[in-house]
Amino acid sequence: MDTRTIRKTFIDFFTKHGHLEAPSSSLIPDEPTLLLTNSGMVQMLPYLLKQKNPPHIRMSSIQKVFRTVDIDDIGIDGRHLTFFEMLGSWSFGDYYKKDAIHLALELLVKEMEFDKEKIWVSVFKGEEPIPKDTESIKYWLDEGIPNERIVELGWKDNFWGPPGETGPCGPSTEIYYDMGEALSCGKEDCKPGCDCDRYLEVWNAGVFMEYYKDEYGKFSTLPQKNVDTGAGLERVAAFMQGKTDCFDTDLLRQVVDLVCKKLHITDYDTNPKTKRSVKIITDHSRAAVFLISDGVMPSNEHRGYILRKVLRRAMAQVSINKGQAPFFTDIIDLIVSLYSDYYPNLLTQKEHIKEVITAEELKYSKTLQSGIKNLEKIFHTKGEVSGEDIFKLQDTYGLSPEIAIDLMNGLGITFDKESIATTYESSMQTQKNRSRLGSSFTLGKIIEEQFKNFPPTVFNGYNSLVEKANVLHIDRTESAYLIITDKTPMYAESGGQAGDKGTMTFVNGIVSISNVKKTKRGVFVHIADRNDENDSAIVLPDGKTSYPIPVTIEVDEINRKRSSYNHTATHLLHWAIREVLGKDSHQKGSYLDAGKLRFDFTSHKDVSKEDISKIETLVNEKIKEHAQVDIAEMQYTDAKKEGAIGLFEEKYLDRVRTVKIGNFSFELCGGTHASNTEELGTFRILKIEPVSEGIKRIRAVLE
């Protein structure tokens, strides 16, 4: 069955069973914590959370997805793709495990002619705090899958989501296909879950989304039980076309063949090295075409960085194989012609895509050529390339260590990983960290590890917004500088309040700081984007300069003030919620920055429109009362005695900081605030939405 027929068979099958087809959403998701759309369920998030009514309670889609975590694996096997099409279906609080399992089997066996005898399945084995999925086992048995072909796996294989850091998730049941003993690793316990090629995953036949994972890693139950299924179209096509490699399927193989033709490659099927090169070019150019068609532009941060990264990696492979820039024009034509029947915006975007890729290519080809020339020269004169050389190439030509390694591999330059371990590995680590950052915004985890040996930063920003300080360390990644100082007036993201923005003045110029984070031990990490201004202003230690480097740090006052007002408004909101809904309502989490605030709280009863309007009115009354905001430090026991409320009381030490507004609100809090509620303006609730069972979220702004 060819790819187009598979798309149609899948959609027709689910339509026949009462599902409504949703068109693919953009690769740029609505969900702010997610870099790129990484699964079909992303556009379904409001329905899974029951925040919005779905157009239909059963839906299906073929969704464009991009998985940043797989970038480095492309070309190594035939299964990984960065961009792919995902076949998906959903039940929003309608049918559950029994029907999901039945539908999955019926589609594969009856419509797609998979051999039922070769089907294995996996179910969630149960790991604290989520119980074993015994129901799915029962339903598989009922469907005639014998016990010996049902395996139980844990978090890694059989629990899916949330797609970002928080959101809906649940145990899954997956279908594997036995490709035959010849492909087995031969180990006695070889079965689904094993890394070898014998049992290949065909379909995540059902994520049973009944949980919500919050920002503290806790699970609660969702207002409804959902089914979310997903299968990579290219993998299904490979199975159906008798291939083991996605790049050999009807559409992708045409791109592979064109790349080979253009590069005069004749040994693609027999030479693993050329195969890897061509697969990288094929996968990455298709990914770039789709990313650009959805509005992503190359840059040094976020999704623009991902696009630049895939383009540059593809270009490196083109250069290694002696291809000339501009290389991609007719490849883009082919990709558009293969996919525009299902994704018509490719046609309207075609010229734009060509312009963007060609401009990137022409800009980067000089870097690549210098990189190749220098790597070859260093290798020929010294007989080896060191980690230091790689860093020099990065400094001088902007050639990332990652591309340098790709080039060395492709040029046949051998290098001893061990001997360049310190510099090369640490740089690679930063790269990897940064791509992990890209995939899920887990910067917190990264800086925790990276800066564990620095002293806690002295924070003086409650009272002053400008300060002279010393830079103790700068880490440079491709998209950002991470700067550690001995002291700072900049507030680091904590207690639900966003980090400050501001500037850091070096002798060479002014660096814009876009955010500040801190480690659990209190090391503040100032984040500056990589751009031309920051690049030329920042002073990095070299032969002449060494740490500490003196700087002046200045907080963006307007941004700080607006965050402070939103923080005070958050306390007023907390107070008003408890006034209206009762004292058993309490805070579950919050987030605020200069523009908006959100507040999660427990409420076991429904919150009516009248309640919301009462809450809003109460907050505005308190603003108009011009209540004084008093901040104090006191003994924890005294604060408690006086009735202060706090979210994470166990975190507080002996001395605590308290924020008192008028004589009605009294909270433990480390954030920044207005000095009087009169500064706040008008408080407006934008919406209230359920987060999980018993937990609601209010989104609000000050106007």
* Cβ 338 to ligand SER shortest distance, Å: 24
* Cβ 89 to ligand SER shortest distance, Å: 8
Q: Name which of 66 and 160 has its Cβ closer to ligand SER.
A: 160
* Cβ 160 to ligand SER shortest distance, Å: 5
Q: Which residue is nearest to ligand SER (CB)?
A: 230
* Cβ 4 to ligand SER shortest distance, Å: 21
* Cβ 237 to ligand SER shortest distance, Å: 17
Provide the 3-class DSSP secondary structure of residue 65.
Answer: strand
Using CB under 6 A, pick the residue from 45, 71, 207, 325 that binds ligand SER.
Answer: 207
Scanning 36-44, 53-61, 432-440, 448-456 for contacts with ligand SER by CB under 6 A, the matching segment is 36-44
Using CA atoms, how far apart are residues 591 and 495, in angstroms rounded to an integer? 8
DSSP characters over 224-264: EEEEEEEEEHHHHHHHHTT-S-GGGSTTHHHHHHHHHHHTT
- The strand ranges marked E within 356-494 are 458-459, 466-476, 480-485, 487-488
Could you count the other beta carbons within 10 Å of the beta carbon of residue 411?
A: 15
* Cβ 88 to ligand SER shortest distance, Å: 5
Find how far residue 429's CA is from the centre of its chain. Answer: 18
Q: Name which of 40 and 671 has its Cβ closer to ligand SER.
A: 40
Q: Name which of 162 and 495 has its Cβ closer to ligand SER.
A: 162
Using CB under 6 A, pick the residue from 54, 78, 88, 438 that binds ligand SER.
Answer: 88
Give residue 264's region: left, alpha or beta (phi > 0; psi -120 to 50). Answer: left
Site track for ligand SER across 607-646, x = CB under 6 A: ----------------------------------------
SS (H, E, C) 677-698: HHHHCCEEEEEEEEEECCEEEE
Is position 162 an interface residue for ligand SER (rule: CB under 6 A)? no
Looking up tokens 């094993």 gives 194
Using CB under 6 A, pick the residue from 160, 177, 328, 364 that binds ligand SER.
Answer: 160
- Does the N-terminal peptide bond of residue 192 adopt cis geometry, omega within 30 degrees of 0? no
Q: Name which of 227 and 469 has its Cβ closer to ligand SER.
A: 227
- The strand ranges marked E within 374-508 are 458-459, 466-476, 480-485, 487-488, 502-506
Q: Name which of 207 and 331 has its Cβ closer to ligand SER.
A: 207
Q: Name which of 121 and 207 has its Cβ closer to ligand SER.
A: 207
Scanning 33-41, 238-246, 288-296, 417-425 for contacts with ligand SER by CB under 6 A, the matching segment is 33-41
Q: Name which of 38 and 620 has its Cβ closer to ligand SER.
A: 38
Using CB under 6 A, pick the residue from 3, 24, 39, 677 that binds ligand SER.
Answer: 39
Instruction: Give the burial string for 577-604 (b: 16+ CB within 10 Å, else e).
Output: bbebbeeebebbbbbbbbeebbbbbbbe
CB 195 within 8 A of CB 232: no
Provide the 3-class DSSP secondary structure of residue 512.
Answer: strand
How far from 170 is each of 127, 173, 225, CA to CA, in Å? 12, 10, 10
Q: Name which of 160 and 415 has its Cβ closer to ligand SER.
A: 160
Using CA atoms, how far apart are residues 324 and 169, in angstroms rounded to an integer? 46
* Cβ 10 to ligand SER shortest distance, Å: 13
Q: Name which of 207 and 403 has its Cβ closer to ligand SER.
A: 207
* Cβ 157 to ligand SER shortest distance, Å: 11
* Cβ 229 to ligand SER shortest distance, Å: 5
Q: Name which of 101 and 572 has its Cβ closer to ligand SER.
A: 101
CB 278 within 8 A of CB 259: yes
CB 471 within 8 A of CB 549: yes
Q: Name which of 75 and 88 has its Cβ closer to ligand SER.
A: 88
* 3-state percent helix, strand, coil for the chain, nearest multiple of 5: 40, 25, 35
Is position 210 an interface residue for ligand SER (rule: CB under 6 A)? no
Q: Name which of 212 and 459 has its Cβ closer to ligand SER.
A: 212
Using CB under 6 A, pick the residue from 27, 41, 469, 577 that binds ligand SER.
Answer: 41
- Does the N-terminal peptide bond of residue 29 adopt cis geometry, omega within 30 degrees of 0? no
* Cβ 611 to ligand SER shortest distance, Å: 35
Token readout for 281 is: 């070019």
Of 78, 19, 371, the closest CA to residue 228 belongs to 19
- Secondary element (H or E) of residue 286: helix 272-293
Binding residues with ligand SER: total (CB under 6 A):
10
- Does the N-terminal peptide bond of residue 162 adopt cis geometry, omega within 30 degrees of 0? yes
Is position 92 an interface residue for ligand SER (rule: CB under 6 A)? no
Is position 40 an interface residue for ligand SER (rule: CB under 6 A)? yes
Is position 399 an interface residue for ligand SER (rule: CB under 6 A)? no
Looking up tokens 């050999």 gives 248
Of 476, 535, 463, the closest CA to residue 506 belongs to 535
Of 438, 451, 429, 427, the closest CA to residue 518 belongs to 451
Scanning 34-42, 110-118, 342-350, 526-534 for contacts with ligand SER by CB under 6 A, the matching segment is 34-42
Using CB under 6 A, pick the residue from 60, 204, 394, 439 that binds ligand SER.
Answer: 204
Provide the 3-class DSSP secondary structure of residue 675.
Answer: coil
Is position 24 an interface residue for ligand SER (rule: CB under 6 A)? no
Using CA atoms, how far apart are residues 616 and 607, in angstroms rounded to an integer? 13
Q: Name which of 162 and 371 has its Cβ closer to ligand SER.
A: 162
Is position 690 an interface residue for ligand SER (rule: CB under 6 A)? no
Site track for ligand SER across 450-489, x = CB under 6 A: ----------------------------------------
Query: CA torsion, points 668, 674, 677, 680, in degrees to nearest 10?
Result: -120
Query: In the window 224-283, what residues touch ligand SER (CB under 6 A)?
Result: 228-230
Q: Name which of 230 and 499 has its Cβ closer to ligand SER.
A: 230
* Cβ 134 to ligand SER shortest distance, Å: 21
* Cβ 42 to ligand SER shortest distance, Å: 9
* Cβ 546 to ligand SER shortest distance, Å: 48
* Cβ 151 to ligand SER shortest distance, Å: 17
Scanning 39-47, 270-278, 346-354, 392-400 for contacts with ligand SER by CB under 6 A, the matching segment is 39-47
Query: In the window 308-347, what residues touch ligand SER (CB under 6 A)?
Result: none
Scanning 35-43, 263-271, 452-460, 657-665 for contacts with ligand SER by CB under 6 A, the matching segment is 35-43
Of 415, 73, 76, the closest CA to residue 273 belongs to 76
Token readout for 606 is: 């429904």
Q: Name which of 228 and 556 has its Cβ closer to ligand SER.
A: 228
Token readout for 385 is: 């390339």
Residue 610 phi, psi (nearest 5): -65, -40
* Cβ 39 to ligand SER shortest distance, Å: 4
Residues that bind ligand SER (CB under 6 A): 39-41, 88, 160, 204, 207, 228-230
